[in-house]
Amino acid sequence: MAAITLLRSASLPGLSDALARDAAAVQHVCSSYLPNNNKEKKRRWILCSLKYACLGVDPAPGEIARTSPVYSSLTVTPAGEAVISSEQKVYDVVLKQAALLKRHLRPQPHTIPIVPKDLDLPRNGLKQAYHRCGEICEEYAKTFYLGTMLMTEDRRRAIWAIYVWCRRTDELVDGPNASHITPSALDRWEKRLDDLFTGRPYDMLDAALSDTISKFPIDIQPFRDMIEGMRSDLRKTRYKNFDELYMYCYYVAGTVGLMSVPVMGIAPESKATTESVYSAALALGIANQLTNILRDVGEDARRGRIYLPQDELAEAGLSDEDIFNGVVTNKWRSFMKRQIKRARMFFEEAERGVTELSQASRWPVWASLLLYRQILDEIEANDYNNFTKRAYVGKAKKLLALPVAYGRSLLMPYSLRNSQK
């Protein structure tokens, strides 16, 4: 692997004013985080896409397979033609990520291991970079940060580096300088990502992620897809149906799960397929983003955005005007109950996969899952008023969730429990 060297940002001659504003906004987001045989075949837990419509345990002879509901199906064009759904497109990415991890885990006796060269950083620079990533994670995601303290040092630092990159990316379109961001700025951010993956980071936080990439089988695709989600936020304020919304949720949140699985690792005793663990990580990201959307309906409406399926709103007898008016009606309550039920289904799907992760990596994931799911409870407690009331989990409930999350992190993998029945 080539040595990783820091690239300095430079003003390019001929930059237009718009590009200059883009560059300044990107630079602000970046710099704001910097410190100044014959045996009976064992049954496996399997999770398939809607293409196979299955989730559960391989059935024993004479047993009926247990399956889960399908959330997104083949979509049909106005001309009546069936097209591949967003779920299937995303599942293809899942398969690619799973194959990459399996190749990494497979013994390679005839290959010479690649040892990354030292970063071109000041003395202790990489250590400082990871330390700064940890500080940012602790500041903005305290509960998750606490959970990472049980992980091995390499994994903990890698997760911090991934978190920081995702946060910086999100800040481009959702931060204080979002009004100055244009598609060209995101193009440059993606070019910067390409450089980062080839060992040429621009700053110390990029360097932490470059180092992480050199140590774990992390693929660039989920990172690129997250940037695509940011592009969606620049050009799209409505979603025709859940199929469109599912793809958006994958871009901005499901990708995080795919980035994280190679770092968190799969428990050696797990009988689950690699694909099923990735799919569960994806489901958690989808569930978290759906929860964000349901929590922030009023806030998004004030920005002219509606992240709710337009066809389902119409079916419920609701329109954009009802969202902008922000009045809780029985129609709205019924609509919200359906949306919350769907989000909980994704959380249920994610739960099984969390148990398959390396035990030391489970606590922060369980904590995130339990706390985010409680936001749905708070929306219900607010009588579905997510127009003027922001549902949040209080500090006391957060503290109570931590020992529960820790206890669940000690449970036997779901795949083992089922194989012993």
Q: What is the pLDDT along the chain (421 residues), one digit of tens a residue?
A: 444 445 433 333 343 455 456 656 666 666 677 776 444 444 433 333 333 233 333 444 444 343 334 444 455 555 656 678 888 889 888 888 888 888 877 665 444 443 344 455 665 789 999 999 999 999 999 888 988 998 999 999 999 999 999 999 999 988 888 778 889 999 999 999 999 999 999 999 999 999 999 999 999 999 999 999 999 999 999 999 999 999 999 999 999 999 999 999 999 999 999 999 999 999 999 999 999 999 999 999 999 999 999 999 999 999 999 999 999 999 999 999 999 999 999 999 999 999 999 999 999 999 999 999 999 999 999 999 999 999 999 989 988 999 999 999 999 998 988 666 5
Note whether residue 95 is domain-resident. Answer: yes
Note whether residue 27 is domain-resident. Answer: no
The Cα–Cα gap between 140 and 154 comes to 21
Note whether residue 222 is domain-resident. Answer: yes
Note whether residue 34 is domain-resident. Answer: no
Burial class of 341 by CB neighbour count within 10 A (0 to 12, 13 to 18, 19+): exposed
Note whether residue 213 is domain-resident. Answer: yes
Q: Distance from first CA to last CA of the chain, Å, rounded?
A: 47
Domains of the chain: total: 1
Note whether residue 8 is domain-resident. Answer: no
pLDDT at 101: 86
- What are the CA-CA distances from residue 85 to residues 171, 254, 345, 368 (Å)? 29, 16, 19, 28
CATH number of domain containing 181: 1.10.600.10
The Cα–Cα gap between 264 and 46 comes to 20
Note whether residue 167 is domain-resident. Answer: yes
DSSP 8-state code for residue 250: I
The Cα–Cα gap between 336 and 386 comes to 10
Q: What type of residue is 363? A: W
What the block records as the tokens of 235 is 């050009």
Ramachandran angles phi, psi of 38, nearest 5°: -95, 0
Q: Give the structural domain span for 395.
A: 86-106+120-413
Note whether residue 245 is domain-resident. Answer: yes
pLDDT at 2: 45
The Cα–Cα gap between 286 and 345 comes to 10
What the block records as the tokens of 114 is 């690649």
Helices (H), 106-152: 125-140, 142-148
